[in-house]
Structure 1
Amino acid sequence: MAAGHQEGHGQGRDEGHERIHEQGREQGHRQGQGPEGQGALIQGRYRLHELIGRGGMGEVWRALDESLGRRIAVKCLKPVGHAGDAGFTRILQARFRREARVAAALQHRGVTVVHDFGEHDGLLFLVMELLDGRNLLQVLDDAQRHPLPVPDITDIAEQVADALAYTHNQGIVHRDLKPANIMRLSDGSVKICDFGIARLGHDIGFTSRLTGTGMAMGTPHYMSPEQIGSGAEVDHRSDLYSLGCVLYELATGRPPFDLEDAWSILVGHRDTEPEPPRARRPELPAELERLILDLLAKDPEDRPQDAADVGGRLKAMRAAAGAAAASSPPVLPGWAAGLSTGSAARSTRAHRMPAPARHEITGAWSTRALAVEAGPDTLAALAARHTEGIDLGRVGNWRQAYDLHTAVAADRDRALGTEHPDTLASRHEAAYCLGRLGRTEEALRLYEYVADVRRRVLGPDHPDTLVARHEAAYALGGLGRYLEAHQIYSDVLAARERTVGPEHPDTLHCKHNLAFNLGRLGRTDESYAMAVEVADVRARVLGPDHPETLVTRFEVGYAQGQAGRWAEALETYREVAAARARELGADHPDTLAARYETGICLGRLGRSADALALYEELVEARTRIAGSTDTETLRARHALGVNLGRLGHWDRALAEARDVAAVRERVLGGEHPDTLVSKREVAVGLGWLGRWSTALAVYQDVADARERVLGADHADTLTSRNDEAHCLEQLGRTAEAQALYRRVSAQQQGGPERL
């Protein structure tokens, strides 16, 4: 059974809307917002729901076409480098319209459908069909760069060739064909994405220049020789070369020229013959290798001359393979029909296992027959590596743990099957590592996959199924999707109460996180009541000073603070801090987290001198333990500065805020939420010192950054616009201030007036 996780905890708040991380995982983490922001409405029609992809040219959002009630994807492209150039903007918009019309005219099952396009508040956007699947880069990465089975490669290649034959007949060349632009959907069909985007990217400012002159568009690992340099003609055969690069990577796990830097890769494409794929993977069919090498010919005249020819060769291979399979008796039992006997990794794409035939398996799974294939030593070695991955995670080596779990999952997939419980356990652990690495969306997708397969194989109420669903809910909370998380938590809680009882640790774990999630939904009273209930049961079953009891009591304190009951929250946090100091030590991160929240309560109760003294001690401890640039050290310093201001020490408060802002900008980036919080505190200090003109510039900088990152309608953006209006008022610019107040009010009420 896959290991569980520590619980999420709501903590860390002050005037700057800050949060801290309790025991490493905070469920209320705010997702980074895009150019518009979650919930934004584009052109009065397309409502953005969830950020699902981000790249150099912009972002892709899951969205809803409210006019048709259709789920869609919206790609937002943001020009760079020519912000004030009206002429450039006009040229770019004209090019965008031309390229988008071309893409929208394509009607083929292997090409992503473009429904609409336009410009909105300085953003160019494309409205596309929403695809349910993974691109080939993700498929390879999920398999730890193991190659795909030959039938999968030929199936993908044939579908891509068919789509290219269609687009080339329309006179359209993709110019940036690569694994990331080829989607394999859940039903096995394949679609090519981003026709016209590569050429548009050149105009927007994302050309792949290496020397500053003459570098054509494309991604180095998949660029044809004629794309390298400015004089060569590029036609449809360039796409065929790129297809050869993609197939080489699918067949061997690596691109044909996998060198250290971009220039070496390009020189390889131009001057070096690729290593034959069968030198890396001997069991590849000779005819597949021949096709790949033909596609990789340096001279376009030496390649297949059209995609239809490529498709014909692939169909002939498939027919020959089918005939050979029909004449050979199967060597594996029916329930193991998908297992590989060679060195190539099997696809990790989910599939249903066929039902057992005459030889029924006793129990859910049996490894007795598999021992002939893999051997007990192999299975024992995989189990040891799985345990090693868990141990790496325990000491915080999450990247290494993820790599190891992904590799073990691929090996177990080959040895045991995609849906075997051990394979799923490794994928579950890989998902957990992704969460700890901050790759929450990827973790969510992997948890959902594991939960779905376990539900089919093990049953909906099996403990492992419920663990995966619980983790999926946790990831949803981390992405701010609290309503979806609430539904899953509620379902899991009901199943656990039904199967193991209301006081089982897993039941209490789920109830704790449900209480946390209720708080994020604004249901404070319910959150508080449930947290108190869990804390009381844990205190009775585990003891009042048990870490899990204290975790939930911490959540009780947070709920008390949310309800404005600061005196009660102060008492709760003090008790938690004292207990943790006894059990874990005064310098343990969890002890310091509780002390931080104690300071918040003191400040809210007007006891800023006490809070200041506490934060001075906390800054010293955090610096000594983690260093001066650690995020928690900086958070404590920020709180110290806030309380200096409350006590009227504005010169010191301003100096502290400037110092923290500078460090955060260097460490986190200029538009990170914590950096902007500190910059706002700088403006607050300037205002209190009467330096309103300088404060206005800082407030405007923060507001503009939040609008770019979070969207114009986000609460933090509107707070900053109100700050800006207040500053204008102080400078006597009353008319401007009133106009800005009205606009902010209209946005808060969902009105049509926009900044």
Structure 2
Amino acid sequence: MAEDTLIQGRYRLLDLIGRGGMGEVWRARDESLGRRVAVKCLKPLAEGGDSAFMRVLRERFRREARVAAALQHRGVTVVHDFGEHEGQLYLVMELLEGRNLSQLLEAGKPSPLPVIEVIEVAEQVAAALAYTHDQGVVHRDLKPANVMRTGDGTVKICDFGIARLAHDIGFTAKLTGTGIAMGTPHYMSPEQIAGATVDHRSDLYSLGCVLYELATAAPPFEGGDAWSVLVGHRDTTPAPPRARRPELPGPLEHVILGLLAKDPDQRPYSATALAPGLRAARAGTPGGGHAAVTAMGARSGHLTRLGAAPASSRTPVQHPARVPGVVSVPAHLPATVPARPPAWSEGICGGSRASGAWSAVETAAPASGAPEGERTSAESGAAGAPGALSALTGPWTGPHGAGRPAPVAVPGQGGPPAISSARHRAVPPAPSRELLAVLAERHGAGLGLGRLGRWEEAHEVHRAVAAERELALGPGHPDTLASRYETGFALSRLGRHREALEEYTRVASERGATLGREHPDTLAARQETAYVLGQLGRYLEAHELYAAVLAARERTMGPDHPDTLRCRHNLAFNLSRLGRPADSYELAAEVARARARVLGAGHPDTLVTRYEVGYALGRLGRWAEALETYLAVAALRGESLGPDHPDTLAARYESGVCLGRLGRPAEALELYRDLALARARVQGRDHPETLRALHGLGVNLGRLGRWPQALTQAREVCEARERVLGPEHPDTLVSHREVAVALGWLGRWEEALKVYGYVADVRERVLGPADPGTLASRNDEAHCLEQLTRSIEAAGAHR
């Protein structure tokens, strides 16, 4: 690129800001909007390169750029646009006036940054990482050069998505003799060095490296070459920062060394968890009080309160707009609704009670040991939880009145910002009894819609009632919180887990502040928070929160209380998702015995836990015992719920999985045939669970060597899943793979290769190239190429 170049008729390059391994950064003018921007121009794509690779590269660039553009946070550089111009990929970003941390370190050599500035950077970068990680985005190349400090003291992270793109293009990643990807060795995590799976904890390690260097003016590991630095990250404990700089606050050193733990599991579970340590470090720093002016912002004439997260960095709680008048209940809703059914997802607890009544729901996740063709997504039911109606006629100010303590953050969550007591002093006028009665009626109608499984409608009713109650009674009133709890419950049932997490976190914080952290209602909200964290795949955070709630329940209710047992069940369920099937089995078996003793052997809650015992046994490869457990659960559920109840059918499905694993495909085939008929009769032929049973039928046709029939069955299920679930749904891709398996067994390898390649390409685009599912698909593709004696291509696919 050259000065005055006009990109896509819109962005005019003015002057070169910087140049690096990926390309150049230009100051530019957006001619359409008349604003200054920064344009990062990646190095030109190699001419004559492999067209398929270039096509994948361009698609990956677009995907990474879209991800970066979706990030909206004060601590993340804004991406405005992206595209390709004359063979060069480019990103258009906000123009930042300031210096990156690498430049600041260089300018201050040999001295490190002032302690208060290190803390300020740490707080802002941690807030930005907490946001991006919550969006499922990992940076992968956090280093001083990728963190910019602007003139007003704002710290921004740059180049999200660029690190992975750089690795794929090969601009900056070089391979050592042992095949290790070389990025920026001074800031690479041990798992990056080992080529293992990288998640958000790798960014936390890199942040520890950055903070170590800011605090001491030297990286944690130095050496004469890149390899010695990598070996240091992998094998050597870093020198304590205070050994290099004694005046550093002890809490700051503790934060840095915690981030630098070799084992990702030993690091903080999230960037949010750094806040207490950084607050303690600030408190121990001269001039670091909360009324102070930041060292960074003051020099530029901008005043910022130390310790206060930037307003835009806090996740706002979305309040629904006030709905004038009364939101009517749908006319077709019956005057009375059936009692809330016992469903099977133990993430649910009563919103305001601590009784032994069972309202549990279990979501049985697929057993990792099951063949890919049989068990691909969750067997789940649905349930609701009753909300608390206090029947109070006035606004709620909490037991401590206007001066009540600030809300307490939920363990495992940063929680919303502390709610000022001023908000609770602004007491609204006392609402009329008529209004309260109408709101209570609408709340009950929302519960009824949930019992009928009409969660979209239930969510709308609860959201509107929560808004009206907040206006009439105040945000901390028990009835308001009960409606917010039910709003979160409906969101969870709709699969909108991030929104549900926001609602539950707020309810838990408010209830903790007004009722106490160990009140049954508070514990219910905290337990739901843990459940949603698990649904978001944040199993470690969920585990820590479940453990805290369980300890509180055992203290306040006793070890055999039904709600305590429910929490212990949840903990067992989550242990399995953490990859600890042996621990999960032991705890689940213990809970099953306790529930049988307290509630009875045939109680739905007891059977839920026995179902989980079967799942854990399968994960441990103990298929005969798992089969025996599932058959017993299916029989007892058939007696109490009926043979065609979805929960009875779920246990029968798992029995089929076990039969297949035990080498008894003929029995599995008959079971799946009967199950598919029952599912179709109860839920319809195109229901996902019916299609799962039909898929299992096809898998076992193949196991019996009946491959023409297996191919026909797989194609029919695949077509139905594409229509019902979408072409890129995980279950649809599993069906495509089963088609390819059948084609291969029939010797039709060319056709099989096309299907395997399609599945691999979709998984790579959706899940990323390093995802285990993508790698398994590439392995399938390589195997197919080997069968076609295309060994060179097969070797490439294996790589």
Q: TM-score range by the shorter chain?
A: 0.5 to 0.7
> Which residue in 2 is equivalent to 1:275?
none
In the alignment, structure 1 residue 352 sits paired with structure 2 residue 420: yes
Distance 1:574 1:626, change over 3 A: same
What is aligned with 1:602? 659
Amino acid at match of 1:614: L
Aligned partner of 2:421: which letter? M
Distance 1:670 1:653 in 2: 20
2:775 aligns with: 718
TM-fit CA distance, 1:116: 3.8
- Identify if the C-alpha distance between structure 1 residues 375 and 439 changes in structure 2 by more than 3 Å, giving closer, same or farther: same
Please state whether the residue corresponding to 2:598 is helix, strand or coil: helix
Does residue 446 of structure 2 align to residue 389 of structure 1? yes
Residue 382 (structure 1) shift: 1.9
Amino acid at match of 2:700: N
Kindly report which structure 2 residues correspond to 1:121-270, keeping only aligned pairs within 5 A, or say none: 189=311
| Partner residue of 2:158 out of 91, 94, 115 | 115
Question: What is the RMSD computed on CA atoms of the aligned residues?
Answer: 4.2
Give yes or no for contact 2:456–2:490 (8 Å, CA) kept in 1.
Answer: yes
Residue 483 of structure 1, aligned match among 533, 540, 544: 540
Tell me how far apart the structure 1 counterparts of residues 647 and 704 of structure 2 sit (CA, whole Å).
Answer: 28
Does residue 436 (structure 1) correspond to residue 485 (structure 2)? The answer is no
- Cα deviation 1:544-595 (Å, max 9, x = unaligned): 1111111111011111111111111111111111111111111100010000
Residue type of the alignment partner of 1:470 = Q
SS in 1 for 2:627: helix
**Counterpart-to-counterpart distance in 1, 2:786 and 2:659:** 32
The separation in 1 between residues aligned to 2:98 and 2:725, in whole angstroms, is 38
Amino acid at match of 2:786: E
Instruction: Report the residue type matching 2:636 in the other structure.
Output: A
Q: Which runs of structure 2 are paired with 1:325-474 in the superposition (5 Å)?
A: 351-353=419-421, 373-474=430-531
CA drift at 1:718: 1.0
Per-residue deviation at 1:396? 1.0
Map Cα deviations across residues 576-629 of structure 1 (whole Å, 9 max, x no partner). Answer: 111111111111000100000010011011110000001011111111222221
- CA offsets per residue over residues 161-202 of structure 1, 9 Å max, x none? xxxxxxxxxxxxxxxxxxxxxxxx996835899xxxxxxxxx
Partner of 1:530: 587
Deviations 1:704-752 (A, max 9, x none): 11111111111111111111111111111123323432x2xxxxxxxxx
**Whole-angstrom CA distance in 1 between matches of 2:734 and 2:684:** 21
Identical aligned residues as a percent: 54
Contact 2:322 2:464 in 1 (8 A): no
CA contact (8 A) 1:60 1:73 kept: no
Unaligned runs of 5+ in 1: 1-53, 64-69, 133-184, 194-248, 255-331, 339-347, 358-366, 744-755
Q: Which has the higher contact order (CA 8 A, sep 6+)?
A: 1
The residue type equivalent to 2:158 in the other structure is H
Q: CA deviation at 1:663?
A: 1.4
Query: In structure 2, the residue corresponding to 1:373 is in which secondary structure?
Result: coil
Task: Kindly indicate whether residue 695 of structure 2 is the aligned counterpart of residue 638 of structure 1.
Answer: yes
Asked if structure 2 preserves the Cα contact closer than 8 Å seen for 1:109 and 1:191, the reply is no
Paired residue secondary structure (2:421): coil
- Structure 1 residue 425: Cα displacement: 1.1
Q: 1:445, CA displacement in angstroms?
A: 1.5
Q: TM-score, with normalisation over the residues of structure 2?
A: 0.53
TM-score (norm 1): 0.56
Does the C-alpha gap of structure 1 residues 678 and 491 become closer, same or farther in structure 2, counting only changes over 3 Å? same
Q: Is the CA contact 2:97–2:151 (under 8 Å) kept in the aligned structure 1?
A: no
Q: 2 CA distance for matches of 1:546 and 1:251?
A: 42
Match of 1:647 among 700, 704, 709: 704
User: For the Cα contact (< 8 Å) 1:434–1:442, is it kept in 2?
Assistant: yes
Mapped to 1, the partners of 2:739 and 2:448 lie a distance apart of: 44
Structure 1 residue 336, shift from structure 2 partner: 6.8
3-state SS of paired residue (1:501): coil
Do the aligned residues in 2 keep the contact of 1:353 with 1:419 (CA within 8 Å)?
no
Provide the C-alpha distance between the structure 2 equivalents of 1:719 and 1:484, rounded to a whole number of angstroms.
28
Matched residue, 2:639: 582
For the residue of structure 1 that corresponds to 2:621, the secondary structure is: coil
Q: 1:592 maps to what in 2?
A: 649
Report the Cα distance in structure 1 between the residues aligned to 2:455 and 2:152, rounded to whole angstroms. 40
Residue from 734, 738, 758 that aligns with 1:701: 758
Whether the 8 Å CA contact 1:398–1:436 is kept in 2: the answer is yes
Are 2:760 and 1:692 aligned? no
Is the Cα–Cα contact under 8 Å of residues 78 and 94 in structure 2 kept in the other structure? no
CA distance in 2, matches of 1:737, 1:522: 31
Report SS of the residue matched to 2:690.
helix
What corresponds to 2:551 in structure 1? 494
Residue pair 2:75, 2:157 contacting (<8 A) in 1 also: no
Please state how far the C-alpha of 1:379 moved relative to its aligned partner: 2.1
1:517 — aligned with what?
A: 574
Contact 1:100 1:117 in 2 (8 A): no
- Name the structure 1 match of 2:609: 552
Give the Cα–Cα distance (whole angstroms) in 2 for the partners of residues 72 and 112 of structure 1.
Answer: 6
SS of the residue aligned with 2:158? Answer: strand
Asked if structure 1 preserves the Cα contact closer than 8 Å seen for 2:714 and 2:739, the reply is yes
Question: Are the equivalent residues in 2 in contact too, given 1:110–1:191 (CA < 8 A)?
Answer: no
Letter in 1 for 2:505: E
CA contact (8 A) 2:573 2:612 kept: yes
Corresponding residue for 1:659?
716
Work out whether residues 581 and 588 of structure 1, in 8 Å CA contact, stay in contact via their aligned partners in 2: yes
Match of 1:214 in 2: none
Distance 2:448 2:672 in 1: 35
More helix by share: 1
Residue 201 of structure 1: aligned partner: none
